[in-house]
């Protein structure tokens, strides 16, 4: 709001208490200097006065009010506001606002998350490339941030933080990895003694580096870095201060780091929905922190990242909420946030790639089976994906051949490299522990089952990389074979995917005295919000969630118990080739990918399993489930599924006509 002339503002809805007196009106007099007030980003809202200390106090009071017209502080409050001013509210409601001094240090926090830097002053800087930048240089401590691509070539992420102190460098990387100069301390477990003036510690959430002399601390969890200083930021050098990208680019950046790449927008991202979900920071219970930490920079960072990059690899809005709460908790205040995780549906933080170390061209993430693995960075993988290959071309040397595959590309296909071999199954690939490149080779001394053929005076050495034979009824991996020779290109590899024939199966059930509707529906996420439809491709090893839900039943009276679920290669549930997922209400003990949730607890339950195919079969898979109704009446309807014994609940069933429902998948 701009004031063009003298005016009076009624502030009785949010009065000012000054030296124990209540003021309901704010008088503004026009002078040679402009007077303005803004609700957001209002650190520039000044009232210029001349005179003694009382005028100075009024000036600071109005600055505090300009941050939020209704920023209320409890009696006996002492701390810092979101703009770095010292705030004290006496028991008599006398409010004193002033700059932080040596006796009242207000911590300043700089947060680096995704491709954004939230500076000490609350402004947000976006990183458009994959360079290394100086974050801060202060009192002999220098911090740098390294940004790299992940699944997209056009978006960068914070990849590691480098600290320099007393001529020694400390590299904080993904998975809790810490490297001190050329010495790798990858096995850092908890607190480490002070090393070269830096105190290192590690817990389940990440790694913290503390500089005792300068009181600077750095926390890094593999995705987010938070730098905290004891107070003030005017003298800070770097992106956390007020410097530009061009000024702060590090000399250690790669020569190609500023080359920009273009990719199509991800059409699966709904930016409107992303914005709504990020805006939860404006709501309770986060409002308890608004006086101490401005939420707007974190909302900006949240939307700018998640409107461009999908919610995968553990990267979600919860990280931005976590960063905001952490920044708030660093302020000297008695305020604590309660219940924010349940409101925002965020679980407790943890390092998802703890002690999983990837090569420079890889990043760590969670694969479709729920395990952590190293995936290829988009720029590195682009040269292979454009040729539809898994590695480098065959290298021939007289009567020998060598082929090298990228381990991260195998991980993306769900291929376990340790199961691969040449024609002679004793000839295995050699994995480079640093580059994660897998090399197979043979020569005249060790042919590894190579087939040697003569053609027009040419000698052709031909071999195959294949997967170890599976003797089980089912397999969760693609059939894998790569033929290679000195003179022929590698063939394309078929990626097998499954599609569900119908998005859901609905049956009307008449079971004794109960008439109800039973629905079987498949989803691709644990929250069961992303339904699998006829156009959705499901990869082998991908986790699938199947929900069995009823309508028309009284959940106070009965529970639905999934007695058994099994797969066949025919539409008939009595097919001779059968694989059990659920038996007697419990998951198949021989298949650790099967999880049953809520069975017998209410009128719906669901289970999950990793997608598979029948060994040697490329046809359809039919999923069948048999359900029963159980009368509660003080009975326990949930099956007991411990490994030692299983208690059947069949005696509790009051269901003379158990339901049978089936779903078909095709590939």
Q: What letter would DSSP give residue 470?
A: P
Beta-bridged to residue 458, according to DSSP, are 455
pLDDT at 340: 93
Among 114, 136, 134, residue whose Cα is nearest residue 124 = 114
pLDDT at 59: 38
Same fold yes or no, 108-252 and 380-470+479-489: no
> Are 24 and 12 in contact, with CB atoms under 8 Å apart?
yes
* Cα dihedral: 613, 619, 620, 623 (round 10): -40
Write out the DSSP string of 546-580.
Answer: EEEEEES--TTTEEEEEEEEEEESSSSTT-SSEEE
CATH number of 380-470+479-489: 2.60.40.3210
> Are 293 and 72 in contact, with CB atoms under 8 Å apart?
no
Q: Can you say how many angstroms the Cα of residue 277 is from the centroid of all Cα atoms in its chain?
A: 15
> Are 291 and 81 in contact, with CB atoms under 8 Å apart?
yes
Domains of the chain, residue spans: 108-252, 380-470+479-489, 494-631
pLDDT at 452: 64
pLDDT at 551: 85
CATH number of 108-252: 3.40.1000
- A 10 A CB-CB count for 498 gives 20
Which residue ranges of the chain lie beneath pLDDT 50? 19-20, 32-72, 76, 101-103, 457, 474-475, 488-497, 500, 502-504, 645-651
Write out the DSSP string of 66-104.
Answer: HH-TT----TTEEEE-TTSEEEEE-TT--EEEEE--TTS
Q: No. of H helices and E strands in the chain?
A: 8, 44
Distance, CA of 127 to CA of 473 (rounded, Å) = 51
pLDDT at 444: 73
pLDDT at 474: 46
H/E stretch holding 141: strand 141-149
- The answer to whether the pTM exceeds 0.75 is no
Distance, CA of 315 to CA of 323 (rounded, Å) = 13
Phi, psi of 403 (to 5 degrees): -130, 140
CATH number of 494-631: 2.60.40.4100
Q: What letter would DSSP give residue 198?
A: B
- Residues 6+ away with beta carbon under 8 Å from 61: 16, 18, 95, 97
Q: What's the chain's Rg over C-alpha atoms? A: 31
Among 638, 646, 644, residue whose Cα is nearest residue 562 = 638
Q: What letter would DSSP give residue 143?
A: E
């Amino acid at each position: 709001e701009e004031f063009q002339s003298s005016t009076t503002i009624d502030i009785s809805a949010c009065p000012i208490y000054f030296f124990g007196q209540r003021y309901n009106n704010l008088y503004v007099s026009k002078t040679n200097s402009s007077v303005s007030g803004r609700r957001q980003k209002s650190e520039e809202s000044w009232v210029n006065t001349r005179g003694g200390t009382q005028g100075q106090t009024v000036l600071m009071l109005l600055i505090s009010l300009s941050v939020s017209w209704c920023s209320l502080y409890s009696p006996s409050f002492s701390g810092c506001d979101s703009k770095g001013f010292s705030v004290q509210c006496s028991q008599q409601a006398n409010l004193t606002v002033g700059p932080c001094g040596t006796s009242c240090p207000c911590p300043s926090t700089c947060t680096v998350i995704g491709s954004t830097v939230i500076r000490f002053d609350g402004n947000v800087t976006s990183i458009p490339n994959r360079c290394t930048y100086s974050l801060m240089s202060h009192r002999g401590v220098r911090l740098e941030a390294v940004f790299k691509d992940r699944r997209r070539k056009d978006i960068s992420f914070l990849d590691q933080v480098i600290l320099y102190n007393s001529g020694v460098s400390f590299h904080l990387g993904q998975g809790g990895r810490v490297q001190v100069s050329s010495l790798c301390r990858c096995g850092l477990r908890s607190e480490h003694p002070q090393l070269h003036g830096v105190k290192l510690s590690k817990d389940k959430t990440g790694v913290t580096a503390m500089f005792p002399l300068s009181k600077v601390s750095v926390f890094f969890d593999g995705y987010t870095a938070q730098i905290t200083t004891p107070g003030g930021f005017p003298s800070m050098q770097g992106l956390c201060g007020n410097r530009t990208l061009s000024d702060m680019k590090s000399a250690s950046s790669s020569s190609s780091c500023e080359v920009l790449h273009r990719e199509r927008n991800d059409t699966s991202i709904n930016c409107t929905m992303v914005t709504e979900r990020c805006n939860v920071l404006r709501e309770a219970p986060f409002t308890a922190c608004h006086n101490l930490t401005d939420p707007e920079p974190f909302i900006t960072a949240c939307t700018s990242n998640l409107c461009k990059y999908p919610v995968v690899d553990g990267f979600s809005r919860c990280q931005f909420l976590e960063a905001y709460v952490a920044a708030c908790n660093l302020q000297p205040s008695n305020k604590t946030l309660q219940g924010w995780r349940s409101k925002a549906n965020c679980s407790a933080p943890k390092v998802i790639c703890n002690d999983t170390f990837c090569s420079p061209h890889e990043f760590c993430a969670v694969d479709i089976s729920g395990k952590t693995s190293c995936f290829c960075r988009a720029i590195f993988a682009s040269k292979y994906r454009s040729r539809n290959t898994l590695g480098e071309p065959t290298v021939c040397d007289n009567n020998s051949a060598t082929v090298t595959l990228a381990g991260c590309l195998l991980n993306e296909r769900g291929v376990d490299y340790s199961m691969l071999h040449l024609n002679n199954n004793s000839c295995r690939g050699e994995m480079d522990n640093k580059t994660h490149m897998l090399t197979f080779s043979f020569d005249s001394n060790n042919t590894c089952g190579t087939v040697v053929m003569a053609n027009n005076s040419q000698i052709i050495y031909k071999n195959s990389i294949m997967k170890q034979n599976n003797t089980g009824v089912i397999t969760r991996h693609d059939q894998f074979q790569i033929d290679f020779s000195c003179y022929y290109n590698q063939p394309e590899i078929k990626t097998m995917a499954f599609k569900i024939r119908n998005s859901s199966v609905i049956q009307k059930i008449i079971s004794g005295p109960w008439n109800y509707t039973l629905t079987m529906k498949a989803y691709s996420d644990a929250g069961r919000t992303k339904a699998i439809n006829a156009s959705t491709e499901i990869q082998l090893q991908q986790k699938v969630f199947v929900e069995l839900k009823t309508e028309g039943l009284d959940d106070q009276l009965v529970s639905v118990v999934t007695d058994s679920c099994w797969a066949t290669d025919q539409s008939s549930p009595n097919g001779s080739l059968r694989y059990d997922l659920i038996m007697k209400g419990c998951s198949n003990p021989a298949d650790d990918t099967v999880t049953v949730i809520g069975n017998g607890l209410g009128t719906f339950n669901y289970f999950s399993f990793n997608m598979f195919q029948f060994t040697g079969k490329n046809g359809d898979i039919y999923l069948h489930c048999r359900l029963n109704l159980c009368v509660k009446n003080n009975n326990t309807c949930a099956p007991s599924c411990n490994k030692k014994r299983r208690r059947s609940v069949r005696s509790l069933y009051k269901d003379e006509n158990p339901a049978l429902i089936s779903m078909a998948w095709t590939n």
